[in-house]
A and B are shown apart, each in its own frame.
Chain A
Amino acid sequence: MISLILLLVVPAIGMLFLILKRFYDKLPSTEIITLSVMIVNAILFALGIIFGFSGFNVSINPSISFSFSLQENFITFPFLLLAVTVPIAIFLFAAKEIKQSKSIFYLFYLLVYVSVISVFVSSNLIVFFIFWEAAVLSLFFITGLWGNPEKGKKAAMKFLVFTQFGSLTLLAVFILLFLYTGSFNFSVIASKMSLLPSYIEYLSFFLLLITVMIKMPIFPLHGWLLDSYYYSPSSGTMLLSSVLSKLGGFAFILFGFGLFRNVLLDFRLPLIALGVFTAIYIAFTASGQKDLKKLLSYSSMFYMSLVFIGISSGINLAVAGSVLLMISHGFIITMLFGISYILMQKTGTNETERMGGLMSRMPLLSFFLIFGIFASLGVPGLSNFPGELLIFVGSYAVAGISLIAIFGIMLSTNYYLRVIKQSLFGQLKKTFAGLTDLSKNELLFMSFLSFFILLFGLFPSLILNTLGGL
């Protein structure tokens, strides 16, 4: 039985080594430390799947029932899988993109890595909140210090203040729960939910909704998305889009669907309508974008609005579908951002119009770009399709309007194909004549991700079986 604390201890040791590395140089290079730590963690996770995980509990301050307790709940496995595998892939990118003060970047990188894992695993709400904030904080520094030189700091500040409001409302929800159920432990709260008077339930559901709508970004509260996705370093964007937006979804399922289910069932229709509106709104916004990186950030928000529809429909089939979609979206969006970064580096521009005919010079990259775009279009056999199918089947039973989101997918086909046509097909410009194809490192990154995309596309039952408790 693998104790969950190991998943946290290993990266902590890695961070310790990184700090020590500054003083005695005989330690292996920072990249090797971080990579090996993550790989060890992945192995531990794999062993854990085979032999099962065991909880971990040490109580620090019983008066406010604050105990550092880790326990997997009914939807941790798929998210844990995402949190363990995707950062390894992203790291292959961060390795060559960050030039100055690498060791501190890896320190923050590992901090995000640890905090995301422990958010998925922790069963004490204070521990949940501490690592929730730690993830936000470290991303603030990653965007602020390594992002775009002139706009990075401003975007980081905007991101921080926005998500800080989200986490404060979450803190309010936790305190309300603590107030009425007397403990911060998730299982105790789940059992004592009946103690909450109804107006408190509605209030805390509303507060939770604010947090989720900021984190996942959903329509009215998505102000921070464009700046922080665009101006942070590409590994920062990948972390943000693939792992952090899943925190929002995770919290929504764990608390919205898990605890406040009857409130969720009352508000199903308006929430689905909001999700559909966001999907259509974002599909149109994305089709108006010329810049590939902006387009990808909006399209990542599009899929999160589909997830929002799935969860707010309250049917466990649709919720399972949204979990599936979140996992596959994590892999796909990382690959697409990776490709957009490579294109940015090679062609010096993010505008797809100014690229042309790259397919002849870079067949491998174009294969992976087309593969990624087909995956995100929901072509069956790739991982987005089962998720979307389940969401639509589940949410159709609740409200027919969820089919309008299919029109959103239609729009996404439009702007994705425009990207392929403008960047890959057509005449190769003279300026790009000398371009070389993917390096070994990038090839490893791409095939690693597409393996998972294909795996979960063909065998979604791998994830669905772990969601038994839904």
Chain B
Amino acid sequence: MEYLNPQYILFAGILLLILVDFLRHGLNSNKKAVLHYLTAVFLGLALVFDVIYGNMDISLFSEVQYSQFVTGFMLFLSFFIYLFIISDKNEHSVAMDISYLSAVLGSTLVVLSSNLISLFISIEILSISTYALVYMYKSGNALEGAVKYLSTGVISMVILIFGISLIYAGAGTLSFSSLHVISYLPFIAGVAIVIAGLGFKSTLVPFHMWAPDTYEASKSSVTAFISSVSKAAGLIAMIRIFFFALPVSSLFVTALFLSIALITIFLSSFLASVQDRVKRILAYSSISQAGFAFISIAVLTTRGINAAVFYIFAFAVADAIVFLAYDMFENKKIIYKKESSSMTQVSRIGAVAFFIGILSLAGFPPTIGFFGKLLIFYALFSSGYFALVILAFFALLVSTFYYFNILSEMHVVDRIIKSKKQVPVKREQRVKETILIILTLSLFIGVIFA
């Protein structure tokens, strides 16, 4: 049964939803709830099949040795984020489920793509559906975030395809297995352009401008999805191209990558330290995390790639937790740097999850964030970049500063300590808390995959 892998399940889910949506005129709201559960079931099924059967293997999309792990963790993450979204009481249309499913499909396809054009297709599926997701919640300023995201997105997509066409003009073929470096001018220009195109997706410095505004504008559960799953997809696409497809080993390429990565880390961590809105700080911090992952990719050694993959997994989970927890704070209007007594309504578990998430982002020991950083340093050291590591230390110091500033300003720890009285907890908040617990546990258990 070679058709029982997750991609087909997702695809079938999307088709089914469209069909139902088409027929649904007569449905009332509780029927819609059924639909949501249906999508949740499809996501769960996909996750289960991924674990059992692994991924589909056709010409454009072929298995790579760790792709099963990556699709597994992507599906795991998006399944829980989805549960979090649907447990929100406010109404949202079926279109949201369709675009969510297609986004997940896109991200898993990115990992599998073994041909530049298939990579392009999957990235486009992912980004188009995320455009829809960002705008879906119609909260006041979501429009502006969506516009920014979209405009930069379109441009980068167009640039990406032009780059691919140049590569095709140069090499005559696009499948990773047969690609090889040719010192033909347009080919090299094409590769450079592809770097720019993918840079947008994984928010590297020159192309990261859209990220803070979009993260802040969209609903934080959607931001959780974007910052974790879609960014991970972008980075893995980078890995696929520059490590598997074009094993370019010229010193110059690593120098270029390293400089991009370093600028990303430093600029975003310094900017994060001066923000006065939590979501924006978290946005910049996720950009600097992406920079960190990119550093270990830039080293272009197998050790570096393994470290990068693990680190992406580590920070994606941590980002998801932090944004989801913040989502619970957000609707209780806990604002940064404001003395807020309303902290008490927020559930204690949410505060604990937020606390541990921040710890993992800052790289404190017991969490996998620390092990991720450990592996990255290990990779950097093994290829002899001592000065680079010392520089990274300073950026880490700044990140410790603003991470713990968030904690102290938002009285997170006070929330964990202070109130004793039990707040009446609604069912859906209970669901959210369980999701957060599962995710935080994964922060600790993840060590096994290091």
Contacts and interface: CB of A to CB of B under 8 A. Distances in A.
A contacting B, Cβ–Cβ less than 8 Å: yes
Interface stretch (B46-54, B84-92, B394-402): B394-402
A133 B416 CA distance: 21
Interface in A110-143: 126, 129-131, 133-134, 137, 140-141
Nearest to B390: A172
A145 B414 contact: yes
Interface string A165-208: 10011011001101100000000000000000000000100000
Given A60-B447, A145-B414, A178-B378, A168 B386 contact: no
Contacts of A22: 420
Interface in A213-235: none
A133 B373 CA distance: 14
A22 B422 CA distance: 11
Interface in A284-330: none
A214 to B, nearest CB: 12
A349 interface: no
B358 to A, nearest CB: 11
B265 to A, nearest CB: 14
Contact of B413 (A61, A64, A131, A145): A145
Given A61-B448, A101-B418, A175-B381, A164 B389 contact: no
Interface stretch (A82-90, A153-161, A242-250): A153-161
Contacts of B448: 60-61
A161 B416 contact: no
Interface in B358-413: 359, 364-366, 370-371, 373-375, 377-378, 381-382, 386, 389-390, 393, 396-397, 400-401, 404-405, 408, 413
B393 A101 contact: no
Instruction: Tell me if B's interface is mostly helix, strand, loop or mixed.
Output: helix
A464 interface: no
A66 interface: yes
B400 A130 contact: no
Contacts of B377: 171-172, 175
Contacts of B417: 101, 104, 145
B374 A64 contact: yes
Given A104-B416, A141-B413, A64 B408 contact: no
- The listed residue with most B CB atoms (<10 A of its CB), out of A61, A140, A157, A164, is A164
Contacts of B414: 145
Given A61-B450, A168-B396, A171-B377, A161 B365 contact: no
Nearest to A129: B365
A168 B378 CA distance: 13
Contact of A164 (B370, B396, B418, B447): B396
- Interface bracket on B: 20 to 34
B393 A157 contact: no
A145 B407 CA distance: 11
A63 interface: yes
Given A64-B450, A172-B389, A175-B377, A133 B413 contact: no
A387 interface: no
A144 interface: yes
Contact of A165 (B364, B397, B416): B397
Given A161-B401, A175-B378, A179-B381, A63 B450 contact: yes
Contacts of B404: 140, 157, 160
Nearest to B396: A168
A161 B395 CA distance: 11
Contacts of A157: 401, 404-405, 408
A153 B406 CA distance: 12
Contact of A134 (B365, B400, B401, B447): B365
A160 B450 contact: no
A168 B393 contact: yes
Interface in A8-67: 22, 60-61, 63-64, 66
A66 B447 contact: yes
Contacts of B365: 126, 129-131, 133-134
Contacts of B396: 164, 168
A60 B444 CA distance: 12
B439 to A, nearest CB: 20
A108 to B, nearest CB: 10
Contacts of B370: 130, 133
Contacts of B413: 141, 144-145
Interface string B426-450: 0000000000000000000001101
Contacts of B364: 133, 137
Given A64-B450, A171-B374, A161 B381 contact: no
Contacts of A179: 378, 381-382
B375 to A, nearest CB: 7
Interface in B251-286: none
A303 to B, nearest CB: 29
Contact of B408 (A133, A153, A164): A153
Contacts of A66: 371, 447, 450
A156 B373 CA distance: 24
Contacts of B447: 60-61, 66
B448 to A, nearest CB: 6
B266 to A, nearest CB: 16
A137 to B, nearest CB: 6
A427 B401 CA distance: 49
- The listed residue with most A CB atoms (<10 A of its CB), out of B365, B374, B381, B400, is B365
A172 B374 CA distance: 9
Contacts of A165: 393, 397
A171 B408 CA distance: 26
Interface in B88-127: none
Interface of B: 359, 364-366, 370-371, 373-375, 377-378, 381-382, 386, 389-390, 393, 396-397, 400-401, 404-405, 408, 413-414, 416-418, 420, 447-448, 450
Nearest 6 pairs between A and B by C-beta? A130-B365, A101-B417, A104-B417, A133-B365, A168-B393, A164-B400
Interface of A: 22, 60-61, 63-64, 66, 101, 104, 126, 129-131, 133-134, 137, 140-141, 144-145, 153, 156-157, 160-161, 164-165, 168-169, 171-172, 175-176, 178-179, 203
Given A104-B416, A156-B408, 9 more contacts: A61-B447, A129-B365, A133-B364, A164-B396, A168-B393, A171-B373, A172-B381, A175-B374, A175-B381
16 contacts: A64-B378, A66-B447, A101-B417, A104-B416, A126-B374, A130-B366, A130-B370, A153-B408, A156-B408, A157-B404, A164-B397, A165-B393, A172-B377, A175-B377, A175-B381, A176-B381
